[in-house]
Amino acid sequence: MPNLATHLGDFQFANPLMNASGVYCYDQLQLDAMAASDAGTLTTKSATMASRLGNPEPRYAHLALGSINSMGLPNLGLPYYLDYALDFQNTHPTKPIFMSIAGLSHADNIAMAHMINDNEFNGLTELNLSCPNVPGKPQVAYDLEATATLLDDIFSFFSKPMGVKLPPYFDLAQFDEMAAILNRYPLIYVNSINSLGNGLWVNPDSDTVAIKPKGGFGGIGGDYAKPIALANVRAFAQRLKPEIQIIGTGGVKSGRDVYDLLLCGASLVQVGTALYEEGPEIFTRLNAELDQELTKKGLTELDSVIGQLKTLD
């Protein structure tokens, strides 16, 4: 049987699968369900310092080929997720947990990074620079100067393993510019991609939008996202220094989808829309299907897949 184990820096995982932040990670009940699943590990919901109710409902809709959401960062506050993670690392010492933070301002992000740094937390911290859904708050990672200033300030004191969650980019010049910035910092990974920001859907029965917040604009996930995710993972794999690994996220609902993101250069793979639709049992199926993909190719370990995409020249 192929060995599906993988790693990010010194962190080891039994398999490359986990939830995408925002799905199955709001509270202890959902996090415990993720922990009990066949996923290699899990992340908490992107946190702000204080808890938030998020945007008015309906704020998630199932679409023909995926989903649209404008949750608006509903979360129970960083202290809640830190407590959960501290407990989790004692009860699951071989499953490194991810903690996601998404401050509403530069100062919020700095304050949260201090709280995590000054704590016993020994997992991975993910700085979400790409929440598309808070009214009046543009995505940090589409502002290169703001991104560099934030990372400068965080890495002036932050001494624990950190990665960043990025939005999709669509021009090769943007990959060049963003990778050049990220390569300046001791990041251990980038997570690419967050949902395709500010899409819109029309319900043909009612001639209305599908979700209530922001006049119907929301982040798009699922099948719509897969080719964009593959391109973003591949483009960053070609540009980032080798110390910065990649988590691939976007459009995964089969073992082949996982395999494709690995080929493009991902070391771990997150599942969002399909996890929302199917629940944490999906990880049992995805592991089995990934196992079959490797077996079909006569491969015995993920290192034989990661970054091995071929071109036609």
* Residues noted as catalytic: 131
List, edge to edge, every strand of the sheet that includes 218-222: 60-63, 66-69, 218-222, 196-199
Q: Which residue's entry shows tokens 């967050």? A: 194
Residues 17-56 that bind ligand RRO (CB under 6 A): 22, 46
Residue 114 is encoded by which pair of tokens? 């201090």
Strands (E), the chain: 6-8, 11-13, 17-19, 60-63, 66-69, 98-101, 124-128, 162-166, 189-192, 196-199, 202-203, 208-209, 218-222, 245-249, 268-271
102 is an interface residue for ligand RRO by CB under 6 A: yes
User: In a 3-state reduction of DSSP, which class is residue 209?
Assistant: strand
275 is an interface residue for ligand RRO by CB under 6 A: no
Q: Toward ligand RRO, which CB reaches closer, 225 or 235?
A: 225
71 is an interface residue for ligand RRO by CB under 6 A: yes
197 to 236: interface string for ligand RRO, x by CB under 6 A? ----------------------x-----------------
The Cα–Cα gap between 140 and 165 comes to 10
Q: Toward ligand RRO, which CB reaches closer, 4 or 124?
A: 124
User: In a 3-state reduction of DSSP, which class is residue 70?
Assistant: coil
Residue 132 is encoded by which pair of tokens? 């598309």
Helices and strands (H, E) in the chain, number of each type: 9, 15
Q: Determine which residue in the list 2, 16, 66, 72 makes contact with ligand RRO, applying CB under 6 A.
A: 72
Listed ranges 127-135, 200-208, 283-291, 293-301: which one lies at the site for ligand RRO (CB under 6 A): 127-135
Let me know: does 295 contact 4? Beta carbons within 8 Å.
no
Q: Toward ligand RRO, which CB reaches closer, 132 or 280?
A: 132
192 is an interface residue for ligand RRO by CB under 6 A: no
**192 in a labelled binding site:** no
Q: Determine which residue in the list 195, 232, 245, 249 makes contact with ligand RRO, applying CB under 6 A.
A: 195
73 is an interface residue for ligand RRO by CB under 6 A: yes
Q: Toward ligand RRO, which CB reaches closer, 15 or 75?
A: 75
**94 in a labelled binding site:** no
Q: Toward ligand RRO, which CB reaches closer, 134 or 305?
A: 134
The Cα–Cα gap between 144 and 290 comes to 36
**6 in a labelled binding site:** no
Residues 128-167 that bind ligand RRO (CB under 6 A): 128, 130-133
2 is an interface residue for ligand RRO by CB under 6 A: no
The vertex-56 CA angle with 54 and 60, nearest 5°, equals 85
Pick out the residues of the known binding site.
Answer: 21, 45-46, 69-73, 128, 165, 193-195, 222, 250-251, 272-273
**Residues forming the annotated binding site for substrate?**
45, 69-73, 128, 194-195
